[in-house]
Amino acid sequence: MEQTESVQLGQTDSVQLREHVHQASAEARALVDSVSAVLNDLEAVARDQLSNRFYATVAAAFGVGYVLGGGLPLRTTGMLANMGMQWAVRYAARQVQEAAFGGNGGSQGAGI
């Protein structure tokens, strides 16, 4: 009698285990589908930003990579920041020069 009861308990446990596995599997599939949808949306947003704001997107990607990579040595960071500032100042000066002199350059600021 005891053996029959233990076999029945074992079968019940097996059925419950299968049901739990099936439920967990369905929930895992739903999670994968949700994550896939979010990644697809993120990819669409990134492509849109890349086509509309190319330089800002590249700068943001560089910044994220920089932070995730642990940064660069202090000297390298300083050198890159210096180079970036020089480029930005030259670019801004060119824009001001073109606005002030109509794009012909004039004699002022020709060395920029």
pLDDT tens for the chain, 112 residues: list them.
Answer: 555 555 555 677 888 889 999 999 999 999 999 999 999 998 888 888 888 888 888 888 888 888 778 777 778 888 888 998 999 999 999 989 988 887 655 555 445 4
Q: How many domains does the chain have?
A: 2
Token code pair at residue 16: 């419950």
Token code pair at residue 38: 């979010």
Is the pTM of the predicted complex or chain greater than 0.75? no
Do 37 and 58 lie in one domain? The reply is yes
Question: In the prediction, which pLDDT does 37 show?
Answer: 92
Do 89 and 67 lie in one domain? The reply is no
Do 102 and 54 lie in one domain? The reply is no
Question: In the prediction, which pLDDT does 104 show?
Answer: 58
Question: In the prediction, which pLDDT does 22 show?
Answer: 92
Do 42 and 77 lie in one domain? The reply is no
CA distance to 3, 69, 71, 82, per residue, from 74 (Å): 74, 14, 9, 12
Do 20 and 60 lie in one domain? The reply is yes
Do 14 and 42 lie in one domain? The reply is yes
Range of the domain at 97: 73-112
